Chain A
Amino acid sequence: MSRVLALCFLLLAAVIGFLHIDSRPIWAPFALTSSQVIEEVDEPENSKTKSVNKDSLPRPQSDWLPDTGAPSVHAASLIALNDGAVRAFWFAGTREGAPDVSIYSSVFDVKSANWSAPTVVMDRISAEKGLSRYIAKLGNPVPARLPDGRLQLFFVTVSIGGWAGSSISVITSDDEGLTWSNPQRLISSPLLNLSTLVKSPSIAFADGLLGVPAYHEWIGRFGEFLRVDAGQVIDKRRMSSGRSAIQPLVFVNDAQVANAYFRQTRSSGLPKQIPVSHTQNAGQTWQLSEDLAIANPNSAVAGLTLKSGARILVLNNIESGRYRLVLLMSDPKVGQWQTVEVLEDDEALPNAQRKEFSYPYLITVDGDDAHLAYTWDRKKIRHRYYSSAWLKQAYSKMQTEAQEKSQEANALSQEVQ
């Protein structure tokens, strides 16, 4: 009799379970931004623009995120606000991983070019109370914009061990980041939910859910694509495997196709280049493809697609160290990356005096400009603004050079024939 009752209860559980699966949203295509919808990339400006001297354009503006008084700062991220301002997040404390590390935020007013006084968005004690568990330290904050207009902030917490013991939590704001909800924990790993981190911007799906490029760095070091609905992971897909690629940065090509560029964590003897993964079904499956032939010293890569179709990357293009940071630009039709600006370079200094320039993060406010934030020697966060005019000029110059190179190559091949 007890067995019959148990089996009847199992039948009930089966019905409820299958109904639950049926109620889940199916995997949706990527939502396209204006830059991906435009089929024809804007032609380079007319010959007048081409002839404009680069020096006549306003140089990119640089400033610093406000000082929190903490000796160590790291992992800045940015998001555009509805009024055109930019909100930054970063963590600061006595050192990376210290219990006194808090996540700070400040708003950049584009008109006055000033940062507001920093405010604490999350500290260890608030995270503990909100998540109802012990938290030892806080890490990377990464903001996202929900389709309903609210802001979300994903951030890393660790209860035990180093960064390998990380989990991701999320808070939500209805007022552009002035106030935040209680944190929610994202569950993304079967082993005590250990070792999932976030660094790069999220991707929007057409159904309004978020695709969060995350990564593991404990037993394995690999990327994972989390499908997140209201602060809950409802699906995830592996972007790489093994111990060689973390911090995926996703470039969406169209509703189904995207590329992910990784920070390489390969063992010595293997190429120190940017690993690449590719999806053709909106992130449901990923295949590793050929490396991007740009040096990477095991450091984060930031990227962005502009309305014009141009793509930019900011990274350390060296095989070891983080003493040089450059801005690269590419026309996706051609696929070649060219260095447009060297942001920082301590190569001439002795090893001991070289500073660290790392963890770049890029956003655009109007699709034509770019805001960049990066860690400057772990002491400060530098912010750099590229106007649309400067980026357009750099893009057309890059295209002209690419055309000239291609013509030269054609001429050479004709001569050979």
Chain B
Amino acid sequence: MNALVMSSLIQTLALIELSITSAVVCIWALQKFSPNPFPFVANVFLVLLIANILFWPLGMDLPLVAYVRGVTGDLSIVLTLILWSSLLPSHKPTPIAFKLAVAIIALCFYPFALGLGMIDPYAWGYGSNVFLATVLLFALVCGLANWSKGVWILAIAIIAWSAHWHESANLWDYLLDPFLAIWAICTCIGMMYGRKRDKARSGYLFRPG
């Protein structure tokens, strides 16, 4: 397969992937306004409908998803699969420990990756055996903690990186992106705030007189 075809394939697959992801986000937003969760068949239908509207140019110079991609670039495989799997009927919430780990990693990673000091953890993602081993260890811990979906997601991310599925050759870009980081950080903050609030309420109710 020559480089031109390969490059064109990468672009098309990336647009399809982002169209589906954007459709899933739209459905997630729609469900926020619905009193009942949508049935699986309705979700599939809506994904197909919205993804097609986003993917095809519909008479414009660029398809709508190209405008989304202009801002977001290619999202990480981890975020993509977490979002996609959220529509499955057997979906279970992502463990809070995973979100906490992602939040901590993101808070440590981004400042250094964006220019703080001479150590660049982002460069480890290009071909560091130690970094890959660490990611595998993290996936193993997910498995031992009985979160098999996490193992599948991380394994698929590693294979996607090896196969050069996206434009990036950096493993970090397949594992983490700013939206995943923001989601994890916001969820953790929300959870801590919720616990504090519950504690305060219970303290008020059961305070000795």
Residues in chain A within 8 A of chain B (CB atoms):
2-3, 5-7, 9-10, 12-14, 16-21, 24, 125, 128-129, 131-136, 159-160, 181-182, 184-185, 187, 189-193, 216, 218-222, 224, 230, 232-238, 240-243, 286
- CB<8 Å pairs between A and B, sample of 18: A2-B148, A10-B143, A13-B156, A18-B132, A21-B127, A21-B128, A128-B61, A128-B62, A132-B15, A160-B70, A181-B4, A187-B168, A216-B114, A234-B169, A237-B123, A238-B118, A238-B123, A242-B115
Distance in Å: Cβ of A365 to nearest Cβ of chain B: 30
CB <8 Å contact, A16 and B110: no
Interface residues of B in 102-128 (CB under 8 A from A): 109-110, 113-120, 122-123, 126-128
Residue B87, interface by CB 8 Å: no
Distance in Å: Cβ of A29 to nearest Cβ of chain B: 18
Distance in Å: Cβ of B151 to nearest Cβ of chain A: 4
One of A13, A18, A193, A237 near B159 (C-beta < 8 A): A13
User: Hey, which chain A residues are within 8 Å of B123, CB to CB?
Assistant: 235-238
CB <8 Å contact, B115 and A220: yes
Chain B 10-24, CB within 8 Å of chain A: the 1/0 string? 011011000000000
Distance in Å: Cβ of A26 to nearest Cβ of chain B: 9
CB <8 Å contact, A184 and B7: yes
Residue B198, interface by CB 8 Å: no
Q: In the assembly, what is the distance between CA of A175 and CA of B104, in Å?
A: 50
Distance in Å: Cβ of B150 to nearest Cβ of chain A: 8
CB <8 Å contact, B126 and A236: yes
User: Hey, which chain A residues are within 8 Å of B54, CB to CB?
Assistant: none
Distance in Å: Cβ of B109 to nearest Cβ of chain A: 7
Main secondary structure of the interface of B (DSSP, over half): helix
User: Hey, which chain A residues are within 8 Å of B118, CB to CB?
Assistant: 238, 240-241, 286
One of A193, A237, A242 near B73 (C-beta < 8 A): A193
One of B62, B67, B117 near A241 (C-beta < 8 A): B117
CB <8 Å contact, A192 and B61: no
Q: In the assembly, what is the distance between CA of A20 and CA of B135, in Å?
A: 15
Residue B50, interface by CB 8 Å: no
Contact of A230 with B170 at beta-carbon distance under 8 Å, contacts A6-B143, A220-B116 already known: no
**Which of A7, A233, A242 counts the most B-chain CB atoms under 10 A from its CB?**
A7
Q: In the assembly, what is the distance between CA of A233 and CA of B122, in Å?
A: 12
User: Hey, which chain B residues are within 8 Å of A232, CB to CB?
Assistant: 164, 167, 169
User: Hey, which chain B residues are within 8 Å of A220, CB to CB?
Assistant: 114-116
Q: In the assembly, what is the distance between CA of A241 and CA of B114, in Å?
A: 9
**Partner-binding segment picked from B35-43, B171-179, B199-207:** B171-179
Q: In the assembly, what is the distance between CA of A219 and CA of B112, in Å?
A: 11
User: Hey, which chain B residues are within 8 Å of A12, CB to CB?
Assistant: 155, 159
Name the CB-closest residue of B to A132.
B11
Distance in Å: Cβ of A182 to nearest Cβ of chain B: 6
CB <8 Å contact, A21 and B132: yes
User: Hey, which chain A residues are within 8 Å of B114, CB to CB?
Assistant: 189-191, 216, 218-220
CB <8 Å contact, B7 and A191: no
CB <8 Å contact, A3 and B159: no
Residue B86, interface by CB 8 Å: no
Q: In the assembly, what is the distance between CA of A219 and CA of B177, in Å?
A: 17
Residue B152, interface by CB 8 Å: yes
Distance in Å: Cβ of A208 to nearest Cβ of chain B: 16
Q: In the assembly, what is the distance between CA of A144 and CA of B62, in Å?
A: 30
User: Hey, which chain B residues are within 8 Å of A160, CB to CB?
Assistant: 70-71
Contact of A10 with B132 at beta-carbon distance under 8 Å, contacts A2-B148, A132-B15, A191-B114 already known: no
Q: In the assembly, what is the distance between CA of A6 and CA of B146, in Å?
A: 10
Distance in Å: Cβ of A314 to nearest Cβ of chain B: 28
User: Hey, which chain B residues are within 8 Å of A3, CB to CB?
Assistant: 143, 146, 148, 151
CB <8 Å contact, B66 and A134: yes
CB <8 Å contact, A230 and B3: yes
Residue B79, interface by CB 8 Å: no
CB <8 Å contact, B158 and A241: no
Contact of A21 with B129 at beta-carbon distance under 8 Å, contacts A128-B61, A134-B69 already known: yes
Name the CB-closest residue of A to B117.
A241
Given A189-B113, A216-B114, A233-B126, output 13 extra A-B contacts at Cβ < 8 Å: A7-B140, A9-B151, A13-B154, A16-B158, A21-B128, A132-B11, A160-B71, A189-B122, A190-B110, A235-B126, A236-B123, A240-B118, A286-B118
Distance in Å: Cβ of B141 to nearest Cβ of chain A: 11
Residue B139, interface by CB 8 Å: yes
CB <8 Å contact, B129 and A9: no
Name the CB-closest residue of A to B125.
A190
CB <8 Å contact, B143 and A235: no
CB <8 Å contact, B172 and A235: no
Contact of A17 with B146 at beta-carbon distance under 8 Å, contacts A190-B176, A220-B114, A235-B126 already known: no
Q: In the assembly, what is the distance between CA of A232 and CA of B116, in Å?
A: 25
**Which of A18, A133, A192, A216 counts the most B-chain CB atoms under 10 A from its CB?**
A133
Contact of A192 with B120 at beta-carbon distance under 8 Å, contacts A19-B162, A20-B162, A21-B129 already known: no
CB <8 Å contact, B127 and A234: yes
Interface residues of B in 66-115 (CB under 8 A from A): 66-67, 69-73, 109-110, 113-115
Contact of A132 with B143 at beta-carbon distance under 8 Å, contacts A6-B152, A10-B154 already known: no
Q: In the assembly, what is the distance between CA of A14 and CA of B173, in Å?
A: 17
One of B4, B73, B128, B158 near A14 (C-beta < 8 A): B158
Residue B8, interface by CB 8 Å: yes
Contact of A233 with B169 at beta-carbon distance under 8 Å, contacts A3-B143, A10-B139, A24-B127 already known: yes
User: Hey, which chain A residues are within 8 Å of B129, CB to CB?
Assistant: 18, 21
Q: In the assembly, what is the distance between CA of A135 and CA of B155, in Å?
A: 33
CB <8 Å contact, A222 and B115: yes
